[in-house]
Amino acid sequence: MAIGMSRSPGMYGLKAEGGLGPPVRRVLSLDEMVAGITAGNRAVLARAVTLIESTRVQDRPLAKALLQALLPLTGKAHRIGITGVPGVGKSTTIDQLGMNLIAAGHRVAVLAVDPTSRRTGGSILGDKTRMQRLSQAPQAFIRPSPTSGTLGGVARRTRETMALVEAAGFDVVIVETVGVGQSETAVADMVDFFLVLLLAGGGDDLQGIKKGIVELADMIAINKADGDNVERAGKSAAEYQGALNILTPASPSWQPPVVTISGRDNLGLERLWEKIEEHRRIMTGTGEWEGRRRRQAVATLRDMLAEGLMEQLNATPGVAERLKAVEAEVAAGQMMPAFAVESVLDMLAATPPPRSTC
């Protein structure tokens, strides 16, 4: 069925012949998608996200056209990354923080990055189960952002999904990462503010988190500071603040603070949000906010160029086979990586590119 040519009524079209079976889902045209997204239609938004995540070559022209058409409506949201080890209370905190923001008049989108989605198929059910109130709120949108098994997948899919939800009018976008591997770095490089959630532990708290993650943080929040854990959380906060004071901050205008919160009991979240807004005011005033956004845009360009180059390598007859051969030689210690790269690129340059299917 050609894009935009279906005359079937309704988003999902007509029922199967004879009225049996589920409705036949027709393809929405570019104009229909743009209109639905800009109107805040969450069903159309969900379908648009599925479109840009598609690996089918035939879906790429519409996906690219959609993102380009919506470009003027993007970039206005406050982008916040949140990380923390499993069990730290990310989902509970995001659920409560999101509800607080909705009560204050915001519209909130949550993009959950799951680097293991290639094996598990994503975490949408788990996310919506843990964020019960937020998932039911019409002013919210929750969506997993699959990585396709690579950090490049984190960057590309999440950035493009972020553009869609911003065009749909969500003014706060929270990107949640599971807190394993290098996904935190990928997320920190696409948001305006990076929050690290930690738990109060014993006397070796500072040894329990990688230095690199602390250096990425624009703020640290010690979660579950409630009940008998309040005093211990306060002690941990002081220790982490001391550690941050030793490190050179990413910005000369902002010293990352450490706060204590309880996502479960909605304690400290108002102060947490005040700090996030304070960071935005300071960074906007110094010009660092816009500078960070510009650097991220260039980084996105380079990431996508690298991904596109690999796709071209694998799609060009002869070059893909050469790539496999030199990989084997490099692995066997028979060829230097630098020479292997040069030989593959030389062959790519001399080989006519495959005919575009876009």
Residue 333 is part of a domain; what is its CATH number? 1.10.287
* H or E, element range at 97: helix 90-103
Chain position carrying tokens 């110094």: 286
* Nearest in space to 82 (alpha carbons), one of 108, 110, 101, 107: 110
Task: Kindly report the backbone phi and psi dihedral angles of residue 221, in degrees, each rounded to the nearest multiple of 5, phi listed first.
Answer: -120, 125
330, 322 contact by CB (below 8 A): no
**Measured distance CA(300)–CA(203) in Å, rounded:** 40
One domain for residues 226 and 240: yes
- The amino acid that residue 56 corresponds to is R
**Is 46 within the bounds of a domain?**
yes
One domain for residues 64 and 206: no
**Is 16 within the bounds of a domain?**
no
Q: pLDDT value at position 331?
A: 94
- The amino acid that residue 209 corresponds to is I
- CATH number of the domain residue 245 falls in: 3.40.50.300
One domain for residues 66 and 92: no
One domain for residues 133 and 92: yes
**Measured distance CA(156)–CA(304) in Å, rounded:** 7
Q: pLDDT value at position 205?
A: 47
Provide the 10 A C-beta neighbour count for residue 328. Answer: 11
- The amino acid that residue 101 corresponds to is L
Provide the 10 A C-beta neighbour count for residue 273. Answer: 17
Domain assignment of residue 40, given as a range: 25-70
* Nearest in space to 48 (alpha carbons), one of 335, 62, 56: 62
Q: pLDDT value at position 114?
A: 63
Q: Which of 50, 70, 90 is the last residue of a domain?
A: 70
One domain for residues 98 and 65: no
Residue 132, exposed/middle/buried by CB under 10 A (0-12, 13-18, 19+)? exposed
Q: Which of 255, 270, 286 is the last residue of a domain?
A: 286
- Sequential DSSP letters for 118-163: HHH--SHHHHHHHTHHHHH-TTEEEEEEE-TTSHHHHHHHHHHHHH
pLDDT in tens, the chain (358 residues): 333 333 333 333 334 444 555 555 677 999 999 999 999 999 999 999 999 988 888 998 999 999 999 999 999 999 999 988 788 899 999 999 999 999 999 999 999 876 554 444 444 445 556 788 999 999 999 987 665 555 444 656 888 999 999 999 999 999 998 665 567 788 888 999 999 999 886 444 444 455 667 778 999 999 999 999 999 999 989 988 888 888 888 889 999 999 999 999 999 999 999 999 999 999 999 999 999 999 988 988 888 888 788 888 888 888 888 889 999 999 999 999 999 899 888 888 888 766 554 4
One domain for residues 212 and 343: no
168, 38 contact by CB (below 8 A): yes
**Is 356 within the bounds of a domain?**
no
The alpha carbons of the chain give a radius of gyration, in whole angstroms, of 23
Number of domains in the chain: 3
Please give the span between the terminal C-alpha atoms of the chain, in angstroms, as a whole number: 16
One domain for residues 220 and 333: no
**Is 9 within the bounds of a domain?**
no
**Is 117 within the bounds of a domain?**
yes
**Measured distance CA(166)–CA(185) in Å, rounded:** 22
**Is 259 within the bounds of a domain?**
yes
Three-state DSSP at 137 gives coil
**Is 7 within the bounds of a domain?**
no
Q: pLDDT value at position 233?
A: 93
One domain for residues 338 and 312: yes
* Nearest in space to 219 (alpha carbons), one of 242, 237, 194: 194
84 dihedral zone (left: phi>0; alpha: psi -120 to 50; beta): left
One domain for residues 141 and 280: yes
187, 158 contact by CB (below 8 A): yes
**Measured distance CA(182)–CA(344) in Å, rounded:** 28
Provide the 10 A C-beta neighbour count for residue 146. Answer: 24
One domain for residues 223 and 128: yes
One domain for residues 304 and 273: no
Q: pLDDT value at position 181?
A: 55
- The amino acid that residue 155 corresponds to is A
**Is 316 within the bounds of a domain?**
yes
Q: Which of 231, 255, 286 is the last residue of a domain?
A: 286
One domain for residues 331 and 201: no
175, 81 contact by CB (below 8 A): yes
In DSSP terms, 143 is beta-bridged to: 111
Maximum separation of any 2 CA atoms in the chain, in Å = 72
